[in-house]
Amino acid sequence: MVAFLRKLLVRGLSTSRDVERWTGLPYLGAIPRAQARASRLNPSAAVVEYDDPALAASFKNLHATFLRECPGARVVALSSAVPKDGKTTCSVALARTSALRGHRTVLLDFDLRRRSASAELRKPAAVGLLEVMSGRARLDEGLYFDGFTPLYVLPASDDLELVRKAVVKDVFSSPMMTELVTVLRRRFDYIFIDTPPLLAVADTRHIAPHVDAFLFVTRWGRTPKDSVAAAVDLLKSTRTPLAGVVLTQAPPQAPPRAAEKTGVVARGVECDPLSDAHGTLRRRSSLDTADSRRLAGG
């Protein structure tokens, strides 16, 4: 009886069957609630601090699942229906894991209003995404080194006036967006993008044409199922391949990923020749300043 009542109180997705029923997408796995104090404060740090083995393992498993289910996808965006569903934590953790495996990786903070990834990584943004896209700075001036991993970060801007102008001009639909992604593809093996929540603003739909695959993140048992379904429908309307759904802040008994039920879902994406199965670190190559200057109009 108690179990039945608890199930009635769960508003969001909580099982792989829920995921398939409400989204029509594969269930990629669950990220458990942080147990260690440090991980509760900054869950994505688990991949470098190792103070929460279960949390660290879940991020590594998710990264391995992404590589298996989206062969060839190099520009990967993460989004959610609403704020605080865990998309930023997953974005940072996946990007850090990718860098630790030896892939040249960059994380882009495209959530202009919240700047969540920039805050989680504690990166200053005197020069960031919008300064680069507006031509005020070169690309290599806006890129920051993570410090804990070989990850590069292009943070969102702290200039609120620049953010306001970017929103009005719909910067993600501009030619500069196309040029930015083109240059970054030349420099990096993988580009992870932390995008705004889908039901809050339209930015993510404008980012979609530049993305190889989307990962949809939702909080276990919390985000209303109707909201999740509506957000996924918006993503489907962009015709961008959807890798599947990740449940965050799940209890320990959350079901494991059923690999046999997923299949290859990122259609039209070819095998990635840059995948490093041994996880050895490659020597970081310097940025091409000529391309950076061209991007900045210099």
Q: Tell which residue, 180, 206, 186, has the closest CA to residue 195.
A: 206
Among 235, 46, 116, 206, which Cα is nearest to 245's? 235
Q: What is the pLDDT of residues 207-251, one digit of tens each?
A: 999 999 999 999 999 999 999 999 999 999 999 999 999 999 999
24-59 tens-digit pLDDT:
999 999 999 987 665 666 778 888 877 788 899 999
pLDDT tens digits for range 134-188: 888 999 999 999 988 999 999 998 888 888 888 767 889 889 999 999 999 999 9
| Residue showing tokens 């660290």 | 56
Residue 129 CA to residue 147 CA, distance in Å, equals 19
Please tell me which residue, 253 or 137, carries the higher pLDDT value. Answer: 137
pLDDT at site 269? 36
Helix (H) or strand (E) segment spanning residue 128: none
- Using alpha carbons only, give the angle 261, 247, 275 rounded to the nearest 5 degrees: 65
Under a CB-based contact definition with an 8 Å cutoff, are residues 243 and 213 in contact?
yes
Question: Contact 77/205 with Cβ under 8 angstroms?
Answer: no
Which pTM does this prediction carry? 0.81
